[in-house]
Structure 1
Amino acid sequence: MVNRMLVGLFAAALTVGAAWAQGAGYIARSLHQPVPGGVAVLSLGSGATAPVVHYEGAQVMVVKDSDGSWVAVLGIDLKARPGRHEAQVKEGPNLRQLAFDVGHKEYASQHIKLKNQAHVTPAPEQLKRYEREYAEQMAAYGSFRESGPSNVLLDAPVKGRTSSPFGLRRFFNGQERNPHSGLDFAVPKGTPVHVPANGVVTIVGDYFFNGRTVFVDHGQGFITMYCHLDEILVRKGQELKRGDVLGKVGATGRATGPHLHWNVSLNGNRVDPAIFLKGK
């Protein structure tokens, strides 16, 4: 009975959230999917200046929606527990808590066979390399530039079939590893990869798992990553415009064939890129 009541409360909370989003601006209507690995769009009113919002210690994106109101666009960690969450909103000297509800979502499983056993169970020296690369990536995900983004509704970086959705529980040669943190596009080697919003290149690397990789910072904690590239056509620190080509699809790193792995991060949390795709 208690479980049924909790499910009912979460469903009611999501219904209220959906009703608010339907009556709100374009960004809220398009992006508000408050589940683990999803996005919450929180209404902040129509003050003269943008409030400053933090969630779980990280500053989050605040932009004006089409109805003229300020909204916080925050990413929810894939491991977040369903239930009541809070963001902290600072407006001048005033600080308040803004509550919202995170619903439940089940993600599917995927079993992958790899020929290179080192990509399943790396040797100690490979683990040290991975740890260095991981720290570099976490620093890039945690950056927050005050300006931007140019847009939050995105075009896909390549045109083609999506082969692995976000959030899959992944098993490599029977061993469970971290859930899939992005969206995979099964497209031919050499396919140009386009940046979906203005930004600055923060990482150009060749990583153990990700292969040739590019990170783009779009501003306000909105970061995108592109990996397994065959060729990189940009440099660190380069400013990019929406539609620019940053590289070409490949199969470098831990990959079973040519594809683009694309992920989106908000306030340090990887979230489902499909949420941001126009015309989805």
Structure 2
Amino acid sequence: MTLKRLFTLLLLAALALPVQAEGFITRLLNKPVPGGVAVVTLPEQAEAPRAEYLDQPLLVIREDDKRWIAIAGIPLTAKAGTDHIELADGRRLAFNITDRKYPEQHIQLKNQRHVTPDPEHLKRIQRELDEQIAAYKTFSARQPSNLLFDRPVDGRLSSAFGLRRFFNGEERNPHSGLDFAAPTGTSIKAPAAGQVILVGDYFFNGKTVFVDHGQGLISMFCHLSSIDVKVGDELARGAHVGKVGATGRATGPHLHWNVSLNNTRVDPSLFIGAFMP
């Protein structure tokens, strides 16, 4: 074989290889659908680039010590097509959103006030909503300890993320989290290390805990029977948070777990390796 032919074969083989093999985090999380996550490779530089999506700062990490990636939560209301994240220097990096259809869920509640609250309860609901929205906007500098999360409880998945929900026949907001069916008193554990940033007993959510895992990655646990942490507590991965219950708008004991990225509620199943397209 001539040297020229050998060089040609080697060049063709190199061109056939992907420019960058996907890392573990990209394979785990890159599901760019409404309510999903987009993982976008960033320009190489010494310090972590800063990036935003929908005017919210993004979680940026080093993947496999090879590349910087931005991890963006995509709203459930997003439409299929091309979207962009924006770098601090004004450059825009594109990613494609593909469509995803979510099924319906019909729930019958005994307490009609949890379907159509009276004016006094509406004031309370708005006040509690403002507290929770502020918590979801938290963006701390800490690096998440892990992105393949542990399941917060031992229990079967009962209601998936994104379900179009109807309470007593009336449509309400889609299901913003993942439900685990488990007996009252079952221990709830932190799926990753973090700091407790909010606790409360709310009209819809019942007893609730927010944990900041870092850089806009937030867990919310609700309907608890007891809260066993306080604001400011630092939790190790696997630390006890509270116990499963049925407080607030719930038809039975279960854990409702929200995951929020860049102030956008996304499918928690992504983070535990249980995502179903």
TM over 0.5: yes
- Displacement, 1:23? 2.7
**Which of 1 and 2 has greater Rg?**
2
Q: Which residue of 2 aligns with 1:135?
A: 130
Deviation digits for residues 184-243 of structure 1 (CA, Å, limit 9, x no counterpart):
000000000000111110111000000000000111000000000000000011111100
Q: Which residue of 1 aligns with 2:90?
A: 95
Tell me, yes or no, if the aligned pair for 1:113 and 1:172 is still in contact at 8 Å. Answer: yes
Q: Which residue of 1 aligns with 2:12?
A: none
Give the alignment of 1:1-280 within 5 angstroms: 23-90=21-88, 94-278=89-273
Counterpart-to-counterpart distance in 1, 2:18 and 2:189? 33
Partner SS for 1:95:
coil
Deviation digits for residues 31-89 of structure 1 (CA, Å, limit 9, x no counterpart):
00000000000001432111000001000100011252110011000111111111101
Counterpart-to-counterpart distance in 1, 2:155 and 2:148? 18
Matched positions, count = 259
Q: What's the TM-score once normalised by structure 1's chain length?
A: 0.90
Tell me, yes or no, if the aligned pair for 1:189 and 1:258 is still in contact at 8 Å. Answer: yes
Deviation digits for residues 130-176 of structure 1 (CA, Å, limit 9, x no counterpart):
00000110010011001221111101100111110000000000000
Q: Which residue of 2 aligns with 1:5?
A: none
Counterpart-to-counterpart distance in 1, 2:58 and 2:211? 17
Letter in 2 for 1:199: G
Tell me, yes or no, if the aligned pair for 1:193 and 1:248 is still in contact at 8 Å. Answer: yes
What are the ranges of 5 or more consecutive residues in structure 1 without an aligned counterpart? 1-18
Partner SS for 1:130:
helix
Tell me, yes or no, if the aligned pair for 1:213 and 1:229 is still in contact at 8 Å. Answer: yes
Counterpart-to-counterpart distance in 1, 2:27 and 2:246? 36
Closer, same or farther in 2 for the Cα pair 1:31/1:230, shift >3 Å? Answer: same
Partner SS for 2:130:
helix
Partner SS for 1:218:
strand
Counterpart-to-counterpart distance in 2, 1:63 and 1:57? 19
Letter in 2 for 1:57: D
Partner SS for 2:91:
strand
Q: What's the TM-score once normalised by structure 2's chain length?
A: 0.91
Give the alignment's Cα RMSD to 1 decimal. Answer: 1.6
Which of 185-194 and 139-148 deviates more? 139-148
Letter in 1 for 2:41: S
- Displacement, 1:278? 4.0
